Structure 1
Amino acid sequence: MASSKDAVVLDVGGLEVRVSNPEKPYFADKGIRKIDVVEYFVAVGEGILFALRDRPTTLERWPGGVFEGARISTRADNTGDAFYQKRVPKNAPPWVPTAHITFPSGRTADEIAPDSVAVVAWCANLGTLTFHPWPVDKTDVESPNQIRIDLDPQPGTDFSDAVWVAPHVRELLHEFGMEGWPKTSGGRGVHIYVPIQPRWTFTEVRHAVIAFGRELERRLPERVTMSWWKEERGEKIFIDYNQMARDRTIASAYSIRPKPHAPVSAPVDWDELPDVSPLDFDVLTMPDRFRTVGDRHAGLADHSFGIEPLLELFEKQTQDAGIGDLPYPPDYPKMPGEPMRVQPSRAKKPAEG
């Protein structure tokens, strides 16, 4: 590692990655500096590269670090301290690869598609804490090769409730001849990844997740909800089916979440999931865990499941119960077959006769 007063240069797999302002506090409460963040990603490099390799990836950048009151910019307010970067930065070195993707609006972009740990480290130098990869490979950006089931605790529920639901997800996956790999979200939720054959469109894969979620909700009506509208969810675990819509992503395995204790999204075994806490995994503890147990998601590479039974279930639900598609996110164009995108409490009631 070469260094100067204002920067250090790391050799990462034979490529030079310059880290500017290495002593800059990034998580002051934990004593974590910018250089510690970059070195963390190098330490878990094999794992996070498996999660990101050749996938178009949105960067969640916190160039000022995480501090009290820090917030991320949104479409409505771009004055935040952090931001999402979907297009490759203009100053990217020639060894940073990209993937050409199309947004729901029809606009296009070239996003970073990491192919080396050096690319991840270079992104970390830009202040990237959380990596948001698409569920596609850059060789075919129209066909997802992963299902990502997001168990999202609603107010009144927490991580333990998501953990309670998770084995029921696995049991239902087994009924459809599939297997899932869980991880903590780095917050209160649980994510379950299912590798699938890249043969279907985003719409078809989203329909498969809707069918799966509805069946889980039917079996666990007091614990699980598929209601898009928050006012209807109650104290349940929401299956966020829109995470499988185009340009919707979740934090990758090993990503750092922007919270004072520097938590990370951690792959776990099914057997250990009931006994872990999100607080167990952070920038300081994950490198030792990774050296000890390796990448708990490595098994994803050995499988590729079909989703035909889930698509058949979606059609059956549509025909038997008269329920079809569900609302898309509010910034999406109106989609074919989508119901009214109106909050139930604001929908016009039919006039009484």
Structure 2
Amino acid sequence: MAKAEREYARLSGAEPEQKTSRKRTRQNQADVANSLPERLLPQRATPVEQPPAGEWRYEVQFNGYRLMARIEDGEVRLLSRNQQDWTARLQLHADALAELNLSDSWLDGGLVLLDDEGHSDFAALRQAFEIGRTVDLVYVLFDAPFLNGVDLRQTPVEKRRAALKKALKNNTSKRLRFSESFSANQHDIFESANALSLDGVVGKRLGSPYVSRRSADWIKLKCRLRQAFVIVGFTRPKGRRSGFGALLLAVNGPKGLIYAGRVGTGFSQSWLKQLHEQLCALERDNSPLAAPLSSSQSRSVHWVEPTQVCEVEFAEWTRDGLVRQAAFLDLSSDTPAGEVVREQPVPIKTMPSKASIRGKSRVVQVAGVDISHPERVIDSVSGVQKVELAQYYEDIAPWILPHLKQRPVALLRAPEGIGEEQFFQKHADRLDIPHIKQLDPGLDPGHAALMEIDSVQSLVSAAQMGTVELHTWAATHDRIETPDLFVLDLDPDPSLPWSAMIEATRLTLSVLDELGLQAFLKTSGGKGMHVIVPLARSEGWDITKAFAKAISLFMTRQMPQRITATMGPKNRVGKIFVDYLRNARGASTVTAYSVRARPGLPVSVPIARAELDGLRNAQQWDIYTALERARNLGADPWQGYNHRQRITARMWEQLDAQKPGE
């Protein structure tokens, strides 16, 4: 373990801003003649799931207040993103801008408060703003849509930024700062942002203009999510806390307000008092939500009129549509309560031409199987339709079928799409799916027959019946009581950077190497990694599971600050759970090349060890890029997978564990 413990993920280096030409760019005479706009709304970035291809420059996204500066005839006005005048509150910053001696200009940036490590602290910023202590606040400038009387909105972003940087070269105030940009490979930028503990990064497409709206030419990759929510209630405080315990959050849906979870952290004492007074004045007798909550969710809740909107930062959305690890940021006056909806990141990708089938025909054939409702959208984020999913499973068949061969399969089905009801089907009792083989009922006594997928037609038939994910047992049906592999599922705390997952994978491989066991890797298609160890058929389920557990416990003892063998979110805070529970009889793991029922439809993909360092996340491939990768592979990433290995007495000793029954 000593060697593995020293291995850390490498962060990609940031390159400095490219030097721009010293020659001043001549502006079009028509632009020079334009007068300074009285009002200018900021350009907004589009949230995306993955960095897009193309030529982009990236900037650190600080967690602060968006701030526009208007300069005319020496007078500086500072305006919030909804055009509220903050000049009087930020007079020190207005004076610093005035000292630049700029003529008619509009500048764009963000107001932040930086800690000792250079990270933005929004809670401290908000408190400083409330009490009027603005001396330490920094105005980070990143664009100049109008500069020194010249309209630059149609000028490429890199030239606007070069002009802004030049205008700031004589700045001596610590309250003004230029937002430096850096280049990074699209495969590395997201990992770098997470590893550096950044709030996120903003990418700007080279050559793009400045527009006063949300634009795909500006993108944001968030390490943590942030959006507005409607406040629909609050709970009573506990212990010594005053005011309230937590706020109940909601977003608007087709039928009204939809419950989105709670936020109970991020409040100062002044916020607890102020919000409590405001909400008490808005109390009502009944819930404003479209659907009732469970008795446990609604216990001790004071319902309020849904008029207040707040900004919340959180780790992720759960499958139930609730926020996880939420923290209150601020009240929001920008967005009316009736316009607050769940924000979805937009995947930027090129769809193959064959994905353009739309609803002209109600039935399309794929691999000889009729696909009804081919136009049904399976995933609203990527826009993938049912027929496209069926086509993926037809095309990926040569690679996925060997992993399904002779194994009982369980299906995760989402007949109306992944945003609607999903259910897990392990037996053939719920629905008779054409072409899917039913196995001997004696393999799983007391249940309907287990199922097997052994052909292209059965794969496509599963997709026709709404199947998205395919999960397999760790044993084949001809020798059901002796598994031929075990799986270690590395499941991280969502707040950890991807580099922590790379490190944990290396550590797991190091332990297996020392045991003399050859292991194989695949992305989970979710958050983590799967480490698969092929076995000879010599042990039963209980012993195989106990051995996987012994590895998990050994890793926990060696590195308790990073690894846990105990399931449950509270036990893996800041850690990675090495899940051995998938090795029990009847348990299953998502199979290689299966689609996952997650936004964007990522795919679980086998990788070679040599590819680990270049891996940027567990959802790196989708149904298009996974297929393209499989077709272009020069060598099998799982070469040697059919080698079978035995669990020996020496291995139990190395793990300081005892084989059950001995």
TM bracket (short chain): 0.7 to 0.9
For each residue in 1:60-101, what CA deviation from the matched residue of structure 2 results, as whole angstroms up to 9, or x when unmatched? 00111123xx3xxxxxxxxxx111111125533366353546
Q: Is 1:47–1:295's contact at 8 Å kept on the other side of the alignment? A: no
How far apart are the structure 2 equivalents of 1:256 and 1:117? 15
Counterparts of 1:2-81 in structure 2 under 5 Å? Answer: 5-11=361-367, 16-67=368-419, 70=420, 81=421
Counterparts of 1:57-206 in structure 2 under 5 Å? Answer: 57-67=409-419, 70=420, 81-88=421-428, 90-93=431-434, 96-98=437-439, 100=441, 107-206=446-545
For each residue in 1:100-121, what CA deviation from the matched residue of structure 2 results, as whole angstroms up to 9, or x when unmatched? 4656xx6333121122222111
**How much does 1:315 deviate?**
8.9
How far apart are the structure 2 equivalents of 1:137 and 1:33? 32
Distance 1:26 1:165, change over 3 A: same
**How much does 1:309 deviate?**
3.9
**How much does 1:278 deviate?**
2.9
The aligned counterpart of 2:196 is none
The aligned counterpart of 2:623 is 283
The aligned counterpart of 1:306 is 646
**Greater shift in the superposed pair: 56-65 or 92-101:** 92-101
SS at match of 2:570: helix
For 1:174, give the aligned amino acid. Answer: D
How far apart are the structure 1 equivalents of 2:637 and 2:588? 18
How far apart are the structure 2 equivalents of 1:310 and 1:63? 49
How far apart are the structure 2 equivalents of 1:314 and 1:98? 39
TM-score, normalization by structure 2: 0.43
State which structure, 1 or 2, has the greater radius of gyration over its C-alpha atoms: 2
Distance 1:152 1:95, change over 3 A: closer
- The counterpart of 1:292, out of the listed 628, 632, 635, is 632
**How much does 1:316 deviate?**
4.5
Q: Is 2:554–2:655's contact at 8 Å kept on the other side of the alignment? A: no
How far apart are the structure 2 equivalents of 1:97 and 1:120? 14
**Greater shift in the superposed pair: 85-94 or 158-167:** 85-94
For each residue in 1:110-151, what CA deviation from the matched residue of structure 2 results, as whole angstroms up to 9, or x when unmatched? 121122222111111111111110111010111111111110
Distance 1:272 1:113, change over 3 A: same
For each residue in 1:39-69, what CA deviation from the matched residue of structure 2 results, as whole angstroms up to 9, or x when unmatched? 11112112211221110011000111123xx
Matched, 1:235 2:574: yes
**How much does 1:275 deviate?**
1.6
The aligned counterpart of 1:252 is 591
**How much does 1:294 deviate?**
6.7
For 1:210, give the aligned amino acid. Answer: K
- The aligned length equals 303
Counterparts of 1:204-219 in structure 2 under 5 Å? Answer: 204-219=543-558
**Greater shift in the superposed pair: 274-283 or 249-258:** 274-283
Distance 1:251 1:154, change over 3 A: same
Distance 1:314 1:228, change over 3 A: farther
SS at match of 1:247: coil
Distance 1:302 1:26, change over 3 A: same
The aligned counterpart of 1:77 is none
Matched, 1:267 2:606: yes
For 2:657, give the aligned amino acid. Answer: Q
More helix by share: 1
Distance 1:163 1:172, change over 3 A: same
How far apart are the structure 2 equivalents of 1:114 and 1:298? 21
How far apart are the structure 2 equivalents of 1:215 and 1:101? 37
The aligned counterpart of 1:73 is none
For each residue in 1:225-252, what CA deviation from the matched residue of structure 2 results, as whole angstroms up to 9, or x when unmatched? 1124543443111111111112222211
Distance 1:260 1:91, change over 3 A: same
TM-score, normalization by structure 1: 0.78
Q: Is 1:149–1:191's contact at 8 Å kept on the other side of the alignment? A: yes
SS at match of 1:192: strand
More strand by share: 2
**How much does 1:314 deviate?**
8.7
CA RMSD of aligned residues (A): 2.8
Distance 1:87 1:158, change over 3 A: farther
How far apart are the structure 1 equivalents of 2:360 and 2:442? 39
Distance 1:20 1:250, change over 3 A: same
How far apart are the structure 2 equivalents of 1:93 and 1:194? 33
Distance 1:291 1:240, change over 3 A: same
Distance 1:227 1:96, change over 3 A: closer
**How much does 1:158 deviate?**
4.7
How far apart are the structure 2 equivalents of 1:241 and 1:170? 15
**How much does 1:167 deviate?**
1.5
Distance 1:198 1:4, change over 3 A: farther
Distance 1:52 1:41, change over 3 A: same
Larger relative contact order (Cα-Cα within 8 Å, sequence gap ≥ 6): 1
For 1:92, give the aligned amino acid. Answer: I
Q: Tell me, which stretches of 5 or more residues in structure 2 are unaligned?
A: 1-358
For 2:363, give the aligned amino acid. Answer: A
**Greater shift in the superposed pair: 129-138 or 158-167:** 158-167
**How much does 1:160 deviate?**
3.0
For each residue in 1:259-283, what CA deviation from the matched residue of structure 2 results, as whole angstroms up to 9, or x when unmatched? 2211111111111122222342001
How far apart are the structure 2 equivalents of 1:102 and 1:154? 36
**How much does 1:284 deviate?**
2.1
Q: Is 2:435–2:458's contact at 8 Å kept on the other side of the alignment? A: no
How far apart are the structure 2 equivalents of 1:4 and 1:246? 46
For 1:96, give the aligned amino acid. Answer: K
The aligned counterpart of 1:330 is none
